[in-house]
Structure 1
Amino acid sequence: MVQFKVFKKTSPNGKITIYLGRRDFVDHVTSVDPVDGVLAFDGDYLQGRKIYGQLVCSFRYGREEDEVMGISFQKDLFLASEQIYPVKEAAEPTKLQERLIKKLGNNAYPFSFQMPSNAPPSVTIQPGKDDEGNPCGVEYYIKVFVGDKEEDRSHKRSSVVMNIRRIQFAPTRVGRQPCTIVRKDFMLSPGELELEVTLDKQLYYHDQTIAVSCTIRNNSNKSVKKIKATVQQSADICLFSGGQYRCNVASVETQEGCPVNPGGSLQKQLHLQPTLKSNMDRRGIALDGHLKNIHTNLASSTLLASPENRDIFGMVISYTVKVKLYLGAMGGEMTAELPFVLMHPKPDLRTLMRGDSTTQVEAFRTNSISGTIDES
């Protein structure tokens, strides 16, 4: 028997309930999965009023405790809004919607929202130990409420708000193996120092180890004292110019094989593993947007349909490996950088639709809806 996992959320007065088959919706770069679910309500409660639904992207870019004198560090973007009941246009329901409606009875109606393709994935900024209120980042939620018209102010007792996530998975086509060569010459000194850096691949999955191969050719009169490699996470905030934050999420340094004296060379392989586990106490680290009781990880790289166009509402996450050579007090430093992609592998679509992923934890059987999870 095929099992489906269903999430359920009921208004405080118990009169309206929404059901979703999943809370993770995949951004395929050029298109996004529709957000579809089922609304059930008490028919005697409405008394001629209507039920409206909204899909909202909320971007918090400052701490709640810093909001004073009416200043708000949160922007809400309404991506979709429509009247769910009475039904204006009957759309073709999905199989899960059909089964839910059959089980829930006459006062159950399907709804569907379409996300725009240029909206950002869900991201959460890790708060500090003493931070209060909602964390910074980008989150999505569905809001369903009762009113006479769409512009009515919703009342908490007759509203349902359920958080969802917009996520991206690693592309099936892998890019070229990253490689760069950096050369540095010195004033009043002959020759130059050459650093070649290569990564073992361009795409890494979360918790994988990055192998960084370094080749140093020293044709200068300086000496290389130490080598350091770091993984740098960059969060580009698109709401205002100059809003870019960088954090080192993994690092390793070595003096093995050093000093590399004039005329010498060195080949070295360093290993880096950027994980949330090693950054649990770091305030300001970008994480994948997470839901209640769901484990998360470092934020995945953001894939854009057009890399030149970053004019979106939210954050763009990217990663870079930086290799730095320390040349002593008089020689200074020398740095090479290589971008790479850090993401989750794309799951099997049938598994995702059955709800066998770690983000869904209760089952909906075709003969019963007692297995739905009630999200508070």
Structure 2
Amino acid sequence: MSPKHVIYKKLSRDKSVGVYMGKRDFVDHCDSVDPVDGVVLIDPEQIKGKKVYVMLSCTFRYGRDDMDVLGMAFRRDIFLCTRQVYPPLQDKECSIHSKIQERILRKLGDNAYPFFFEFPDNLPCSVALQPAPTDEGKHCAVEFEVKAFCAENQDDKAQKRSSVRLAIRKVQYAPDKGGAAPSGETTCEFIMSDKPLHMRVSLEKETYYHGEPINISVDIDNSSNRNVKDVSVSVEQITNVVLYSNDKYVKTVAYEETTDTVPPGTSLKKVYTLCPLLNNDNRERRGLALDGKLKHEDTNLASSSIVKEEVLKEIMGMLVTYRVVVKCNAAGMVGSSEVAVEVPFKLMHPKPVPGDEDTTDLVFEEFKRSYLKGVVGDDDESPAEP
């Protein structure tokens, strides 16, 4: 049996236009980005002489639309590009199609028209800050969307009945070659102590995959006269909202507190293991950065942001980084001092194995409208149909 290739399909309410796409995740390879392509199916009788357009947008939201006050918008369009697909501006037989587009066009017939967009190389990836369970409406997120609509011209306001919106994601995968295994260390000298305390923390590699355990090597050489206790290890997610302000969110996503002690004149060498996940402890924590969510699909902690050197960080919306933090208390006669070491690392998805488009059967999956307000990735804001 041939493997199946899912084609994502969504029709407007009046069935005048429909969008068909071979995927909803588009990969930023750092040196290039997957183009966004698909097919629009039209109903000439429903269109009644109007034109059909497809729009690709990247929007940064930092509040609910109904909170707009004094003309101040709580959303900003980072990128907007509109193409006319019907009547076609060029012979569709002469345009360049992907293999999946060609198969969809053959399947849908004469009223199907291809579309194609290229991402600029300075756009952020899909990411969203997790709202609290009691929050309502859309919240801080970088969202991508493909919209097809019919109108007299592209500047006309599209009627909801004659338009269809499909949320997509721009994602990054771990690079083929990682950097050197990261490490960090500190040396602390104390009053009334002739010798210092030295702590070194190291990881096995620079990049970890989502769901992969992280082994943290801790080496404490306590030559001081202090008693070191309460060793704790944690993984922190740091999210910098850089587009409209410099808000910074630091959230602990994995944590272990131990009773390990290092008396004066002794040392400790130990490996601790943590696995940062969007599990029960983190699933409802407000302010956690998540990879962009589509409809009811589950998601995960946001991947680390990789930004080209020449790209302005301000346009990236939100930047996500991770670090391991090891802390301990050095207790003495004149009080207690906290000693900490931070080690940065990357948390990402591995590159998937590419499929063979020539040997797959097409399976059309219809997108049902969710109408769940406040769920990141809603791709239709209209009220539910009866």
Do Structure 1 and Structure 2 share a fold, with TM-score over 0.5? yes
- Give 1:25-104 correspondences, 5 Å limit: 25-63=26-64, 66-89=67-90, 90=92, 91-104=95-108
**For residues 215-241 of structure 1, what are the alpha-carbon distances to aligned partners after superposition, in whole Å with 9 as ceiling and x for unaligned?**
111122222121111100011112134
Q: What's the counterpart of residue 289 of structure 2?
A: 286
Q: Does the CA contact (< 8 Å) of 1:8 and 1:374 recur in 2?
A: yes
Deviation at 1:77, TM superposition (A): 2.7
2:149 to 145, 149, 154: 145
Partner of 2:167: 163
Amino acid at match of 1:349: P
The separation in 2 between residues aligned to 1:135 and 1:62, in whole angstroms, is 5
Which one of the candidate residues 303, 306, 310 is aligned to 1:300? 303
Superposition map of 1:1-376 within 5 A: 1=2, 3-63=4-64, 66-89=67-90, 90=92, 91-187=95-191, 189-256=193-260, 258=261, 260-277=262-279, 278-306=281-309, 309-328=312-331, 330-350=335-355, 364=362, 371-376=364-369
Counting matched residue pairs gives 362
Q: Which runs of 5+ in 1 are unaligned?
A: 357-362, 366-370
- Distance in 1 between residues matched to 2:322 and 2:151, nearest whole Å: 46
- Post-superposition Cα deviations, 1:80-112, rounded to whole Å, max 9, x if no partner, equal 221111222452112222222222221111001
1:211 corresponds to which letter in structure 2?
A: N
**How far does the alpha carbon of each residue in 1:269-306 deviate from its partner, in whole angstroms, 9 at most, with x for none?**
21111000131121111111111231211111112222
SS of equivalent to 1:36: strand
CA contact (8 A) 1:54 1:78 kept: no
Matched-pair contact (CA < 8 Å) for 1:64–1:132 = no
Which secondary structure does the structure 1 equivalent of 2:138 belong to?
A: coil
Q: Distance in 2 between matches of 1:248 and 1:175?
A: 24
Q: Quick one: distance in 2 between partners of 1:246 and 1:13?
A: 46
Q: Give per-residue Cα distances to partners, 1:174-216, cap 9 Å, x unaligned.
A: 2111122211122454322110111122211111111111111
User: Residue 335 of structure 2 aligns to a residue in which SS?
Assistant: helix
What secondary structure, in the 3-state scheme, does the structure 2 residue paired with 1:302 have?
Answer: coil
Q: Is the 8 A contact 2:78 2:315 kept in 1?
A: no
CA displacement 1:105-143 (0-9 Å, x = unmatched): 211110011111111111122111111112321111111
CA contact (8 A) 1:318 1:341 kept: yes
Report SS of the residue matched to 2:313.
coil
Check the 8 A contact 2:174/2:349 in 1, yes or no: yes
Structure 2 unaligned residues grouped into runs of 5+: 370-386
* CA–CA separation in structure 1 for the residues paired with 2:79 and 2:162: 20
Per-residue deviation, residues 327-355 of structure 1 (Å, max 9, x unmatched): 2371311110101111111111116x689
Match of 2:374 in 1: none
| TM-aligned CA distance change 1:101 to 1:65, over 3 Å | closer
CA contact (8 A) 1:80 1:115 kept: no
Give the Å deviation of 1:12: 1.2
Distance 1:40 1:66, change over 3 A: closer
Q: Check conservation: 2:122, 2:311, Cα contact below 8 A.
A: no
Partner of 2:372: none
Per-residue CA distance 1:3-57 (angstroms, 9 max, x = gap): 3211111111111111101111111112110110001111123333211111111
Deviations 1:137-180 (A, max 9, x none): 11111111111222111111111111011111111102111122
- Among the aligned pairs, what percent are the same residue? 41
Cα distance change, pair 52–4 in 1 and its aligned pair in 2 (3 A)? same
Secondary structure of the residue aligned to 1:4 is strand
- Kept in 2, the 8 Å contact 1:97–1:110? The answer is yes
Given residue 319 of structure 2, which amino acid in structure 1 is its aligned partner? V
Aligned 8 A contact 2:99 2:358 in 1? no
Return the TM-score normalized by structure 2. 0.88
Q: Determine the C-alpha separation between the residues in 1 that align with 2:227 and 2:3.
A: 66
1:163 counterpart letter in structure 2: A
